[in-house]
Amino acid sequence: MKHLTIILGVLLTLGVSAQTADEILDLVDKNMSSDNRIIESTMIIHGKRVSRTITLKSWSVGNEQAFTEYLSPAREQGTKMLKIENQLWIYSPSTDRTIQIAGHMLRQSVMGSDLSYEDMMEDRELKEVYNAEVIDEETVDERNTWVLELTAKVADVAYYSRKTWIDQERFVPLREELYAKSGQLLKRTDLKDVKQIQGRWFPMKMVFKDMLKDGDGTEYLITSIQFNQQIPEYIFTKAALKQ
Amino acid sequence: MKLALKLAYKNLIGAGLRTWLNVIVLSFSFVLIIAAKGILVGWDRQAKLDMTNWEIGGGQYWNINYDPYDAFTLEDAHAPVPSQLGADIEAGDMIPVLIAQGTIYPEGRMQSILLKGIDPDQTILELPTRKLDTLVGATPVIIGSNMARANKLEVGDYVTIRWRDANGTFDATDICITEIFSTNVPTVDLAQVWLPMDSLQSMLLLSGEATLLTFRDREKPRDEIANWKLMSYKALVQDIEEMIKTKSVGQSIFYTILLLLALLAIFDTQVLSIFRRQKEIGTYVALGYTRREVVGLFTIEGGMHAVLAAVVGALYGIPLLIWFARTGITLGVTSADYGFAIADTMYPVYSGTLVIGTTLVVLLTTTIVSYWPSRKIARMNPTEALRGRLQ
Amino acid sequence: MIRFLLKGLIRDRSRSLLPMIIVAIGVMLTVFVRGYINGIMVDMIEQTARFSTGHVKVMTRAYEENMDQVPNDLAMLEISALTGDLRQSFPDIEWVSRIKFGGLIDVPDENGETRSQGPAMGIGLDLLSDHSEESERLNLDKSLIRGSLPETSGEVLLSEDFSQKLEVDPGEVITLIGSTMNGGMAIYNFTVSGTVRFGNTGMDRGTVIADLHDVQRALDMDDAAGEIIGFFSSGFYDDEIADPVITRFEAQYHDEEDEYAPVMVRLRDQEGLSLYVDMTNFMGTIIILVFMVAMSLVLWNAGLLGGLRRYGEIGIRLAIGEEKGHVYRSMINESIIVGVAGTIIGTACGLGLSWLMQTHGLDISEFTKNATTGIMMPNIVRARITPPDFFIGFIPGVLSTLAGTMLSGIGIYKRKTAQLFKELEA
């Protein structure tokens, strides 16, 4: 009986690790994703010489549609960005121009941050793109995590593999690393300050860092987040940019 | 005529120092014109030769999307090497080059660069591509000295590069610098890294593809190939030609003045000898020379300055110019220190056309200048002249 | 004695005028050629100076280290104060601020949405101030292909090829998308006032020239600039002017700790120009030397001819009893007077010509048929006057004339009084 328990226990544990990498992602998704969300946030970009703080308000539906408005600083206030699937437009009120950011421009960094437009544009779910596997358990910020390794199963991805550390209890990623095909670490994101909002656990602070480059990276702080709100359809049209 | 030449020669030599001063000045013009033109021709040839040897060979085929001035086009500027060129490539008379954008991270800084793939065994370009066969713990690459200096890289250094393959997937690897070459052609040096073709093709997932093809033979007629742009040698060196043309005009003003100066001296000499030798002129006429013949005599005498100048110029000019062409004009600096498209040593090139042309021009202008004051003889009264009366 | 000689020279024009004209022409050519050679030899250097390096350039140390990446995030701040200081410390140098930048030029359709787009390099320089010489410096006027130069704030020039690629004409609006000094996104509208040609394929493909203040506004670089460029008042680069300026500047601003402290770099140390500066000096010296020798020989010859011309006159003077030594000395004195007068006139004319060619330049575009003029390839040849031009003419002008006279004058001593009358009778 005792043996059985042990064997069962081992089997269960193994079972959990082996079979649930996808399930873990599902749980994470369930926790983190929503039909839509409205976020107010602050982005702090640590430059070589000065740090810049930008505040943003964004509306998004799933991964396909997003609309972002810059609230400050004064210079960028009123600048809007619209993303529909893989297209991106920027509207600047001072010039009254709607500019399509296409092709090569998407690979440029956003506002001097460690993120490229493309990084923000990725709209496929991780599960569609990657095979996931639990490879380890580690402690991050005093929380037990599963370490998941994600390896691309399709060709057209920016990052061939990722590692993510998922809180075993709250199903929130606490750290993410992006790797080149050669296995070289390219970028790291630390997700901190996990809070419960509308019954979900959500990291309110993220720090992005380009690992090949010196510098202190980019901080992203969420000041408020609301899930599953009523968002009018027109907000995701080019016409809304000019308003 | 023979007599006229003989007379002219005797008269000139008889004038001694005066003649030689004129001849020396005129010979300066000779030598300088040839030297100056030679330097420009040498420069032009060398600049083109450098481009030929380092970059363009006998001409290139460019992928239809390739634009060397817009790095963004590179993403689409590649295609499988056209099959009809297989034979040329097989024979080593054509090399495919693949170009992609990348980023290099020396010491935590980042810089956008071009990654260029080339066959290590190629013999068309002077790039030390054999060093791409070096066995090291990372992808072997060669870079130019200016690239090396700008990024503080040395042979044996390892550094990370990042790029995106054909699918847009990020990839990064370490490269090892196996050779640093110095060249006068910045377009194969600045902000770029040369890798083995096979490595780059597999890094980019573009097996068998190329951005451009450089061929060896300039003269061989080439076919137009669909989706490839044939860039003739002439089209590729056009910028150099325009620059040299501008320089040559600026230069020619200078030696025109020098020639003018020599001609001024000859003119002065002619005026004086006609003034002083009226009796002689009268005698010629009395002896039955027509005035035109006398004018001819004096013109030949003046023009002979040019012949003597050619001889004198040749005496010191030929050794000097040959020495110039052998050693070049070196400035005691190595090109590795400079990011400039000119060589540290310029070798003048003198063509037969240049030498003959210059001789003809000098001879002609000298003759004209000699003829001008001689016309006065035609208006002389021979009896008065014979008596030495000033007219 | 001198009075007597002068009278003779003035009254007998054949004795004075022709030799003097020859000396003057010779000296004029010498002076002019020197100025001209100096001019064309430094032209390529000055071209680079005008367009990018200046004679000296001030930037932050961090900017200098990454100069080829145009790192405006490392630009200098509070440049009006700095420029003020520089103007006070170095009043002989003209200081101008410039910003180089990169970005995307976007052309709108009728709805204000993207119609065409292309990457561009940009230069911001002072085009609109009354006293600014920048547009002249870059030869913008001559390089204009269509439209006109910017006259009001917000107007820019595009390279002609670029404007064709973007299909945009003068008068139309374009938008610059770049990054601000702080890394933010810069979006700014300009009106194309005209198009220019650079004469350098790379620059012709995508360059925009804008007024400095517009660029400062566009890139959020209020009172900031990447580079402050200094031009010497002589208009030409010279190590001997640059070095003390740099030493004084270092003493005032050097700060090992501060990455953003201003540093000054001279032209020679930029863009590999050192080689060219050396070569220019070397070649220029050789050419001028050869020319001086040639000129001296010509004037020497003229001196000899002068002696011959006056064969008869000297005969008479000897015949009526003038001492040979006296004749010889008076000939020499005369030649000095002629030489000095000719040299002064020649130097004046030569300097005048050089000055004309220095200020206005000679347009050689007619000789280079296909190549139209461009910013990077000015078809204007300019002379350059340097201090030695004021006295260099005396070497051929006075010394050579004198040498010629002295040599030909030796003949005087060979003449025999007994034969003089025979010669005169003839």
| C-alpha to C-alpha distance for A90 and A68, rounded to whole angstroms | 9
User: Touching check for B21 and chain C: CB below 8 Å?
Assistant: yes
Give chain B's length: 391
pLDDT at C229: 93
The one-letter amino acid at B127: L
Nearest-CA residue of chain C relative to A100?
C114
Please tell me which of the candidates A181, A212, A213 has its beta carbon nearest to residue B169: A181
Say whether both C203 and C88 belong to one domain.
Answer: yes
Say whether both C7 and C64 belong to one domain.
Answer: no
Looking at C177, C202, C234, which one is the last position of a domain? C234
Looking at C178, C205, C234, which one is the last position of a domain? C234
pLDDT at C370: 46
Say whether both C101 and C215 belong to one domain.
Answer: yes
| C-alpha to C-alpha distance for C301 and C317, rounded to whole angstroms | 24
DSSP symbol at C398: I
Please tell me which of the candidates B191, B242, B272 has its beta carbon nearest to residue C308: B272
| C-alpha to C-alpha distance for B387 and B369, rounded to whole angstroms | 27
**Local structure of C56: helix, strand or coil:** strand
Domain parsing of chain B, residue ranges: 2-53+239-387, 59-216
Say whether both C282 and C219 belong to one domain.
Answer: no
Whether residue C327 contacts residue B41, with contact meaning beta carbons closer than 8 Å, is answered with no
* Residue C347 resides in a domain: yes
| C-alpha to C-alpha distance for A53 and C183, rounded to whole angstroms | 11
Q: What pTM was estimated for this model as a whole?
A: 0.77
Structure-model confidence comparison of residues C326 and B375, the more confident one: C326
* Residue C286 resides in a domain: yes
C74 contacts A48? CB cut-off 8 A: yes
Say whether both C142 and C82 belong to one domain.
Answer: yes
Cite the beta strand spans of C42-184 per DSSP E: 56-60, 93-108, 114-125, 144-147, 155-159, 173-179
Say whether both C387 and C366 belong to one domain.
Answer: yes
Looking at C234, C263, C296, which one is the last position of a domain? C234
∠ CA B158-B162-B168, nearest 5°, is: 155
With beta carbons under 8 A apart, name residues in chain B contacting A103: 72, 75
* Residue C264 resides in a domain: no
Per-residue pLDDT tens digits for A217-228:
889 999 999 988
Cβ contacts of B189 within 8 Å, gap of 6 or more? B143, B144, B145, B146, B147, B183, B339
| C-alpha to C-alpha distance for B6 and B35, rounded to whole angstroms | 32
Domain that holds residue C378: 2-45+276-425
What does the pLDDT average to over C262-274? 80
Per-residue pLDDT tens digits for B152-175:
899 999 999 999 888 888 899 999
C182 contacts A97? CB cut-off 8 A: no
Cβ contacts of A94 within 8 Å, gap of 6 or more? A78, C187, C188
Cβ contacts of B231 within 8 Å, gap of 6 or more? B56, B59, B60, B61, B62
∠ CA A233-A238-A240, nearest 5°, is: 60
Provide the domain count of chain C: 2
The DSSP element (H or E) to which C355 belongs, if any, is helix C324-359
Residue C358, phi then psi, degrees to nearest 5: -80, -40
Whether residue A111 contacts residue C185, with contact meaning beta carbons closer than 8 Å, is answered with yes
Burial bucket for residue C267 (CB in 10 Å: 0-12, 13-18, 19+): buried
Cβ contacts of B118 within 8 Å, gap of 6 or more? B95, B97, B125, B127, B129, B132, B194, B195, B196, B197
Whether residue B132 contacts residue B120, with contact meaning beta carbons closer than 8 Å, is answered with yes
Per-residue pLDDT tens digits for C186-234:
899 999 999 998 877 778 888 999 999 999 999 999 999 999 999 998 7
C180 contacts A75? CB cut-off 8 A: yes
Question: Do the interacting molecules here have an ipTM over 0.90?
Answer: no
| Percentage of chain B lying above the pLDDT 70 cut | 93
Going residue by residue through chain B (391 aa), what tens digit of pLDDT does each one get?
Answer: 677 788 778 877 877 777 888 888 888 888 888 887 887 788 778 888 888 899 999 999 999 999 888 777 888 899 999 998 989 999 999 999 999 999 999 887 788 899 999 999 999 999 999 999 888 888 999 999 888 888 889 999 999 999 988 888 889 999 999 999 988 788 898 889 999 999 999 999 999 999 999 999 988 888 889 899 999 998 888 877 777 777 777 677 777 877 887 888 788 788 877 777 777 888 888 888 887 888 888 888 888 888 888 899 889 988 988 888 887 766 544 433 333 345 556 778 888 888 888 888 888 988 888 888 887 777 777 677 666 555 5
Residue in this structure with the two tokens 């004084």, named with its chain if needed: C248
Please tell me which of the candidates A107, A158, A186 has its beta carbon nearest to residue B172: A186
DSSP symbol at A48: S
Say whether both C158 and C299 belong to one domain.
Answer: no
Say whether both C30 and C108 belong to one domain.
Answer: no
Measuring CA to CA, which residue among A135, A155, A137, A159 is closest to residue A146? A137
What would the 3-class secondary structure string for chain B be?
A: CHHHHHHHHHHHHHCCHHHHHHHHHHHHHHHHHHHHHHHHHHHHHHHHHHHHHHHHCCEEEEECCCCCCCHHHHHCCCEECCHHHHHHHHCCCEEEEEEEEEEEEHHHCCEEEEEEEECCCCCCCCCCHHHHHCCCCCEEEEEEHHHHHHCCCCCCCEEEEEEECCCCCEEEEEEEEEEEECCCCHHHCCCEEEEEHHHHHHHHCCCCEECEEEECCCCCCCCCECCEEEEEHHHHCHHHHHHHHHHHHHHHHHHHHHHHHHHHHHHHHHHHHHHHCHHHHHHHHHCCCCHHHHHHHHHHHHHHHHHHHHHHHHHHHHHHHHHHHHHCEECCCCHHHCCCCCCCEECCCCCHHHHHHHHHHHHHHHHHHHHHHHHHHHCCCHHHHHHCCCC
Please tell me which of the candidates C62, C111, C184 has its beta carbon nearest to residue A52: C184
C175 contacts A99? CB cut-off 8 A: yes
Measuring CA to CA, which residue among B331, B339, A81 is closest to residue C273? B339
Going from the N-terminus, what domains does chain A have, and what CATH number goes with each? 2-33+125-222 (2.50.20.10), 36-122+229-241 (2.50.20.10)
* Residue C97 resides in a domain: yes
Whether A157 has a pLDDT exceeding 70, the answer reads: yes
